[in-house]
Amino acid sequence: MKRLPILFLAVIFFSSCEKETYLDYYIDNQSSSVITVDGSDIINSTDIDQTINQNEKKDVAAWSKRGKETDYFDPTTMFGNDLVITNASGDTLTKNYKLLSNWTSDVDDQRTVASHEYVLVITDADF
C-alpha cells in the first residue's frame, strides 16, 4: 500500500516527459481558379468539404497527440485514398497528394511541444 503513492508519482513524472505533437495539413491554392477539396480526415472521422479561393491557404486537417506518433505524418494515414481536389473547370488534381515529398514542411520542435505544418501547393500545372 505504501508503494502506491510512489508508483503514482512515477507515472505522473514519466508521462509529463512526453512531448505534445501538433500536425496541420494546409492546401495552398496558387492556381488561377477556385478549387474544391472533398474527402475524409480519417484520424478525426470528419468529412472534408472545402472551397479554397485563388491565392488562399486553408487548413484542411489537423490533430494533436502526446508523444511521437510518426505514422500519422503520412498523408495517406490522414486522408486515405479518397481525397479529391478539383478546379472550377472540373479537372481533378494530377499531383499525388499521397506522397509526403509533394508537401512542403515546417517543423518547430521544442522541448515540450512539436509543431508540424505540411503545405500542398497547387498550381494550374497540377490539373
pLDDT (tens digit, 9 = 90+) per residue, 2-21? 655 554 444 444 445 677 88
Asked if 74 and 100 count as a contact pair (C-beta separation under 8 A), the reply is: yes
Report the 10 Å Cβ neighbour count for 119: 16
Give the mean model confidence (pLDDT) for residues 82-90.
95
Predicted model pTM? 0.77
Angle at 42 between CA 89 and CA 52, to 5 degrees: 30
Of 22-36, 58-72, 85-99, 112-126, which gets the smallest average pLDDT? 58-72
Asked if 22 and 65 count as a contact pair (C-beta separation under 8 A), the reply is: no
Higher pLDDT, 80 or 54: 54
Give the mean model confidence (pLDDT) for residues 64-93.
81
Instruction: Specify whether the backbone of 39 is left (phi greater than 0), alpha (psi in -120 to 50) or beta.
Output: left
d(CA 66, CA 77): 18
Q: What is the model's pLDDT at position 70? A: 55
